[in-house]
Every structure is written in structure tokens, then in C-alpha cells.
A and B are shown apart, each in its own frame.
Chain A
């Protein structure tokens, strides 16, 4: 674990009285592709921002290559940002409407590579534009003239121009048509392979994560409830919520299965017990911690060893 790129330990984030993230612990290896799956309100976007220190955690540890991230003063944090980048869900909203495409992509260069001349910068920008599948001439255009897919590529160009070691993708293709999602996803996979960037891919689309990520984290109401390698998760999920998620994905080869038992989220004991058909005794009183099923599979469920999901 000491060679991990990022270690998150017992991270907690609160907004006023509301706990958005609690007891979040996981690690990320260099070059690894990890999926973070959860529904709206689960805290996945909050986690992304907390990792990048865009929002302050209430408690917990963030360790970057052995360094305590939370101890970095503002200046050091800014300096380190070149190594950790993010792309957002809404491609248009993440681009400054008043900056040309070229200026947007050049921003990181202006901030970190001030020694470059204007023409060198322009060359790097053109190179990056072509790398993400756009023409160099696009540098003169403005975001409002471009499609969602094109804007997302620009966001990727901006994020990757300094070859960060970590790229967080917050629902990068959710607002794009299914027929062009693949263009963006493949681009991300290519860049990752070429430059060894670790990717944290956040999505509510399980099927997408299955094709893209080596490990999966499932988050529910601010807690990680299952962590597993991709194959293990999809073949044999151990948490009832993961199972419900998988069952709910519309599959063209079969109809819908009955969704999980109706109910309300609970605020004591296991947050999922109100909807879980296997909830019993301990589930109502105690929050289950993450327990190892296998060396590479953890689940936060009191009854994981008793219940099996097909």
C-alpha cells in the first residue's frame, strides 16, 4: 500500500449538519483505472472534489504518494494541482464562455510553464487538440459554437496537457448521446494507456464502468459499501444495493426484474436497511464496516456471508 498514488483514509465531509461523506477509505495505484459508482446524492461528486481539495474535509486523511495532502499550504497545493486533474459532466459549463478554445487549453501551460513562449505554447495546444481528435484550427473557436462531444474533448485536452498522474472523470459522458459516448471513452482509455495516468471514473452507469475499469467502488449515501475488482463485482456482488443496481439496468435481452423492496432510507444502523429484504437485527442498529470477503473484495454488510445473489 505504500506505493499507492493516492490513499484516502476515513474521509469525512460535512455541509452544515448534513454528512455528505463518512468513513471513506480506499487507495488508488498509479496507472490504475477505478470506477466509482453511485446514484444522485450518494456523494460521488463530493468525493471527487474532496480528493482534489476543492472542498475541505471535516476529518480524515488524504495521502498523495506518501505526502499528507491536507498539510500542504495553499501555494504548495496549487503547485501540485498539475498532477491531479478533473473533467466534468456538463461539457459546456466547464469551459469559460469568454475564452477561446486555444486559451482554455493553454491555461495550465500559462500557470505552470510560464517559461514557454507564446509560439511554443501554441504548438503544444495544437498538438493537444490533434491528440484529442480535433483540428488545430479549432483553437480560434468559442465553446458556444461547438457540440457537447467537442467541448468534452477540449476539457480532456485542458486536463491532460500537463500529463497529470491522476485524472478524475465526473460523469464525463452522461450528457452525451449513446452513439458518441464511445468516442470519448476510447479517447480516455488511449490517453491513459499512453501516459500511465490513473483514472477515477465516476458514473451512475454500471454497464459503462464494466467495460472501462479494473476495480469498482460502490458508494451509497456517503459511504463506500462495496469495493471489488471488476470481474468479482459483476459476477458476484456481495451487497444488496449493488445487486439492486445491477438488476435495475435495462437490458435489451431481458425485461426488467422487480426492483428492490420499496422503502425509505434510514438514518440509523445500515443506511440501506429500509430497502433491503435481508435486513435483520444488527442491520437496524449498527452501521456495518467494510469487511474483506477476499483479499481484493470488501463489502459493508452484516450479512454478506449468509446471503448470495445470483
Chain B
């Protein structure tokens, strides 16, 4: 079964003055059709750079190694022109801030129809009808009215629905969403997540969901990859991960999420210290300075991402010398 997106040994670095910043270090993952993979990481984890790489949006001075293949086509090293044929149509994306992703001086209808006119070469009238249909699909209230409105007249949640609609117009096989609900209120966030869930089922859409919020990712993803300092440190099915994390970072992260049920904290848990800078080249595990279970070997030898289990979609991977017992 060919993966819709296959990332192999991806490495992304930037040179700034005398330093080299390695934002993504040797990351491999794949997304199968109709599967939703969640990438969880905090600031400095490299998740955003990975996102940009997957869409061919890295700045010119970035250098990359490894391969990214979308439906068999190589993404890295392609010109904008070549990529534009798949970007926006079969490879769709939604960004964090709905306001800045929409052109302020064009109506919603125009922006939506434009996608179809450019990619599917539809005449404007047909494109607008298709746009209306898609707005209904994403459960935007009063869709006909919205077509004539401007982005600033819509709320954040509505704008995000419009962006989702825009991304689905050309029937993509893969949707990449970078923090799609971070800028939204929690009630709106819940609605958007449910919408994405529904659409995934209806359209059999492969999705990559990138977020710092484990709760959001857990609500949507089949599999989760946790990134730290540019590498994947743990990868598992959502159910498996929530049952018990194997990597100390993942476990600590899970502990830090404030919960509504269960006993109240006297002191809020946190992970001491902060993530290493992307230019550091310390030997050993990047998480060692902050790890509660650190041992000598961790500081000198970097653990590789190893698989536990038979392989396939239920495979668990963890990069730790002493993974926590399940």
C-alpha cells in the first residue's frame, strides 16, 4: 500500500552567520490513505519546519537532506511551478491563523471560486456553485450570505471553516493542518475538531495534524508522533499512547496537561529547564538534561528510534535507552 506521504530521513538545516541550525534531524514517517497522523511538539521541536518542508515552502537558504514523497512525487528540490500543480489541489493545507490566511479585500466567494478556476479550470459560475456546496458541507451557517462577505466580517471559527472548505475544493488526497485550532476559543475548537472528524470519514481524507496541544491531536489522530529537538522521540497509536507513554518526555508532557476530572494539584507539574537550541550539537539524548529518569548512558549515547512490536500501523517506536514500562 503506497503511502500518501512518505518522509524518509528528512534533515532540514539553516545557516545563520557562522552557526548552522538543525531544525529537523533525521525524521521519517508515512501517512497512509484515510489515515490521520498527529505530530505533537512544543516550541523548538521542529514541527513547523517539517510542515513547511512537506509543502515545499522552505526558504531558499534552507538545506535539506532525505526525501519527501507525496503520492510518489518528490517534493524537495522542486521548483515552485512544479509544486503549484499539486499544492492547493491534491495536497491541501490549513494554517494557524485564519485571519491572515485569507485575503482581506476579496470576498469569500471570490477566494473560494478562484481555487477551482485555477486548478480545475472551471468557469466562474460553476466554481461559485461548487463553493456554495462546500460551505454547506463544512456546516457554515447561512452559506449563501457568506459568499458575499469579507473575511473580517466572519468570526475566527467561521473563517477556519472557510479555509477548510477551500482546502477541500479540489478533492485533495492529503490535508496538512498546522495548529488549526490554536487561535480559536475552546468551544469553537471542539466544533472544528468534530468537523474534521466527520469530513475525514466522509471523504476518506489522509490528514496530518500538527499541534502543541495533545488533547486536540488525541481527539483526531489515529497515530501520534511526538517530536523533541528536531527528532521523533515516540510514535504510537493514539490509544496506545494514552494508555501509557514510553518516552519520559511524552509521559511528562501528558502529566502537564491540566485535567478537569481527577484530583486537584497543589503544585502544577512542569518539565524543568527548557528545550535545547536548534544549533546545539551535544552528544547523547537531547532530553537528558531535563529527564527525571536520566542515566549515564543517556548523556553520552544518543538513543535511536527503535520499533517495538511487529511493524505496521500498530507499531510503537521510541527513542530512549530506558523506555518506561507500559
Residues of chain A having any CB pair with chain B under 8 Å: 39-40, 147-149, 177-183, 185-186, 189, 204-208, 210-212, 234, 244-253, 255-260, 262, 264
Query: In whole Å, how far is B243's beta carbon from the nearest beta carbon of chain A?
Result: 11
Residues of chain B having any CB pair with chain A under 8 Å: 42-43, 139, 141, 156, 185-191, 193-194, 212-216, 218-219, 242, 252-254, 256-261, 264-265, 267-272, 274
Residues of chain A with a CB closer than 8 A to B256's CB: 178-179, 181-182
Max chain B CB contacts within 10 Å: which of A148, A178, A207? A178
Q: Could you list some 19 contacts between A and B, CB below 8 A?
A: A177-B212, A178-B214, A178-B256, A179-B42, A179-B270, A181-B256, A182-B256, A182-B268, A205-B186, A206-B186, A234-B260, A246-B260, A248-B187, A250-B193, A250-B216, A251-B261, A252-B218, A257-B190, A264-B141
Q: A207–B258 contact, CB under 8 A?
A: yes
Query: In whole Å, how far is A192's beta carbon from the nearest beta carbon of chain B?
Result: 13
Q: B268–A147 contact, CB under 8 A?
A: no
Q: A182–B42 contact, CB under 8 A?
A: no
Query: In whole Å, how far is B255's beta carbon from the nearest beta carbon of chain A?
Result: 9
Q: How far is the CA of A305 from the CA of B309 in the complex (A)?
A: 55
Residues of chain B with a CB closer than 8 A to A250's CB: 189-190, 193, 213, 215-216, 218-219
Q: A252–B215 contact, CB under 8 A?
A: yes
A sample of 16 more A-B contacts (CB under 8 A), given A177-B212, A210-B264, A259-B190, is A178-B256, A180-B271, A189-B267, A207-B258, A208-B258, A210-B260, A211-B268, A234-B260, A246-B260, A248-B189, A252-B218, A252-B254, A253-B259, A253-B261, A257-B190, A259-B187
Residues of chain A with a CB closer than 8 A to B253's CB: 178-179
Identify the closest chain B residue to A230 (Cβ): B264
Max chain B CB contacts within 10 Å: which of A179, A189, A247, A253? A179
Q: How far is the CA of A207 from the CA of B269 in the complex (A)?
A: 13
Identify the closest chain B residue to A209 (Cβ): B258
Max chain B CB contacts within 10 Å: which of A39, A147, A206, A249? A249
Q: How far is the CA of A246 from the CA of B259 in the complex (A)?
A: 11
Q: A183–B186 contact, CB under 8 A?
A: no
Taking a contact as CB atoms closer than 8 A, the residue among B190, B252, B257 that contacts A256 in the complex is B190
6 closest residue pairs by CB, A with B: A182-B270, A250-B215, A182-B268, A207-B258, A39-B185, A248-B190
Residues of chain B with a CB closer than 8 A to A181's CB: 256, 268, 270
Q: How far is the CA of A132 from the CA of B191 in the complex (A)?
A: 39
Q: How far is the CA of A270 from the CA of B317 in the complex (A)?
A: 52
Given A210-B260, A251-B260, A256-B193, A147 and B141 contact (CB-CB distance below 8 Å) = no
Q: B214–A179 contact, CB under 8 A?
A: no
Max chain A CB contacts within 10 Å: which of B185, B260, B274? B260
Max chain B CB contacts within 10 Å: which of A180, A181, A204, A208? A180
What does DSSP make chain A's interface, helix, strand, loop or mixed? Answer: helix
Given A149-B274, A248-B187, A177 and B42 contact (CB-CB distance below 8 Å) = yes
Q: How far is the CA of A181 from the CA of B265 in the complex (A)?
A: 14
Identify the closest chain A residue to B194 (Cβ): A256
Residues of chain B with a CB closer than 8 A to A258's CB: 194
Q: How far is the CA of A252 from the CA of B240 in the complex (A)?
A: 12
Taking a contact as CB atoms closer than 8 A, the residue among A178, A179, A207, A245 that contacts B259 in the complex is A207
Residues of chain A with a CB closer than 8 A to B274's CB: 147, 149, 180
Identify the closest chain B residue to A173 (Cβ): B268
Residues of chain A with a CB closer than 8 A to B258's CB: 205, 207-208, 210-211
Taking a contact as CB atoms closer than 8 A, the residue among A186, A208, A249 that contacts B267 in the complex is A186
Q: A259–B260 contact, CB under 8 A?
A: no
Q: How far is the CA of A147 from the CA of B271 in the complex (A)?
A: 15
Q: A249–B271 contact, CB under 8 A?
A: no
Residues of chain A with a CB closer than 8 A to B141's CB: 262, 264
Taking a contact as CB atoms closer than 8 A, the residue among B139, B156, B216, B270 that contacts A186 in the complex is B270
Q: How far is the CA of A109 from the CA of B267 in the complex (A)?
A: 31
Query: In whole Å, how far is B61's beta carbon from the nearest beta carbon of chain A?
Result: 22
Taking a contact as CB atoms closer than 8 A, the residue among A39, A177, A185, A253 that contacts B268 in the complex is A185
Residues of chain B with a CB closer than 8 A to A204's CB: 185-186
Q: How far is the CA of A251 from the CA of B258 in the complex (A)?
A: 9
Q: How far is the CA of A304 from the CA of B188 in the complex (A)?
A: 24
Q: How far is the CA of A205 from the CA of B215 in the complex (A)?
A: 13
Q: A183–B191 contact, CB under 8 A?
A: no
Q: How far is the CA of A39 from the CA of B242 in the complex (A)?
A: 28
Residues of chain A with a CB closer than 8 A to B269's CB: 182
Query: In whole Å, how far is B251's beta carbon from the nearest beta carbon of chain A?
Result: 11
Q: B257–A178 contact, CB under 8 A?
A: yes
Q: How far is the CA of A260 from the CA of B272 in the complex (A)?
A: 38
Taking a contact as CB atoms closer than 8 A, the residue among B156, B190, B260 that contacts A206 in the complex is B260
Residues of chain A with a CB closer than 8 A to B194's CB: 256, 258-259
Residues of chain A with a CB closer than 8 A to B213's CB: 178, 250
Q: How far is the CA of A205 from the CA of B259 in the complex (A)?
A: 10
Q: How far is the CA of A245 from the CA of B141 in the complex (A)?
A: 21
Identify the closest chain A residue to B253 (Cβ): A179
Given A250-B218, A256-B193, A182 and B267 contact (CB-CB distance below 8 Å) = yes
Q: B259–A252 contact, CB under 8 A?
A: yes
Query: In whole Å, how far is B36's beta carbon from the nearest beta carbon of chain A?
Result: 14
Q: How far is the CA of A259 from the CA of B185 in the complex (A)?
A: 12
Given A177-B43, A248-B190, A252-B259, A211 and B270 contact (CB-CB distance below 8 Å) = no
Q: How far is the CA of A250 from the CA of B187 in the complex (A)?
A: 10
Given A182-B270, A204-B186, A245-B187, A252 and B264 contact (CB-CB distance below 8 Å) = no
Given A181-B268, A262-B141, A207 and B260 contact (CB-CB distance below 8 Å) = yes
Q: A39–B257 contact, CB under 8 A?
A: no
Q: How far is the CA of A40 from the CA of B189 in the complex (A)?
A: 12
Q: How far is the CA of A147 from the CA of B277 in the complex (A)?
A: 11
Residues of chain B with a CB closer than 8 A to A256's CB: 190, 193-194, 219
Residues of chain A with a CB closer than 8 A to B260's CB: 206-207, 210, 234, 246, 249, 251
